[in-house]
Amino acid sequence: MQITVSNRASTLKPSAIREIFKSLTDPSVISFAAGNPSPESFPVADMQRFANDIFENNANTALQYSITEGYIPLRSAILERQKSKFNIGKDHDTVLVMTGGQQGIEHTCKMLCNEGDTVICEEPTFIGALNAFRSYGCRLAGVPMDDDGINIEKLEQACKDNPNAKIIYLIPTFQNPTGKTMSLEKRIACLEIAKKYGLFILEDNPYGELRFSGEDVPTIKSMDTEGRVIYCSSFSKILSAGMRVGFLILHEEIAGKIAILKQISDVHTNIFFQMMCHKFLTEYDLDAHIEKIKKLYGRKAGLMLKCLDESMPEGFTYTRPDGGLFIWGDMPKTIDPKSFIKELTENKLAVVPGATFMCDGEAVCHGFRMNYSTPSDEQIIKGVDILATVAKRNLK
């Protein structure tokens, strides 16, 4: 029988990253392509202890239907931590527990955008967000980035050019895929532009706590007095990605509307792991745990940068992140990116092609994303060696 899908579904292709993830069954391939936290960062023993505690003392709550907005003690604990540590959350703000930050992004778009509306974003940016916006028939307006974040003049121009814009989507800290961090001045400017053009900012901050060098920069949300910023984060990079627990911090009026959409999407997020997260926030030294992850990722990023510094030929450039999971590489314009990436794969190194992160997925992009949190030290050394060898060969 013939299957005709909706217009919105017909435009979507599987995310290249998830597809790469699926194809990484060949153990001889070194992958810089993932966006996974290191398994070393999972606090397994404490999780097991907390799980047993829940089964023994609170099983009926943990296994029964629960409230869409999230486990109330978890919501309170998240808000308290974000307020005290990061000055996030005004009196009108509340927390919605989401099934991963991804659901927060998708639901924000579903709630705010009609088909044909525009989402303005950094370019390159997170493919999962781009595809979520596409799935609701949104147009995408990409704004180029400088070393210190989105180009402000071009952002304002995009706002002028797109009267149907509803959202500015930003990952200001350790951006995916570039690893760049937006300066404080630019954050202030983004908020002013959003006000001027009547737009919401969706501030996606899954990596913000993972800074291993430099000084913290305040989130845009921390400067938001009127509820214009919808703040999205998650426990995926600090506790476990597989449990799928993320959250939004946002004006309670918007939260109420997103909760209605979540109700009919998955009713609520797995309540057992919401209770686990609550225990990690209240009966555990989460900050000490995050310090360990930062040290681990700082060391791994340092190793990858050292290898790149020592071996990459002139003409290739790469970012130097202060945190997060990613380094962004750029090849000379004389090289064809598709055949370069293909040659890497043939030599058993997987990276993510930059075009994946562009608003126009068919655009030519000379960048590529590398991840240092998942590969072992040995794999980082060997993988960069493959990269440098292929790079040099392509410069001849």
CB 316 → a copy of itself: shortest distance, Å?
29
CB atoms < 10 A from the CB of 142, how many? 21
Nearer to a copy of itself, 12 or 363 (CB): 12
CB 245 → a copy of itself: shortest distance, Å?
8
Nearer to a copy of itself, 154 or 228 (CB): 228
Nearer to a copy of itself, 187 or 251 (CB): 251
CB 18 → a copy of itself: shortest distance, Å?
6
CB 87 → a copy of itself: shortest distance, Å?
20
Nearer to a copy of itself, 279 or 366 (CB): 279
Nearer to a copy of itself, 112 or 152 (CB): 112
CB 246 → a copy of itself: shortest distance, Å?
9
CA atoms within 13 A on the CB side of 60: 0
CB 178 → a copy of itself: shortest distance, Å?
21
**Residue type for position 218:** P
Nearer to a copy of itself, 36 or 118 (CB): 36
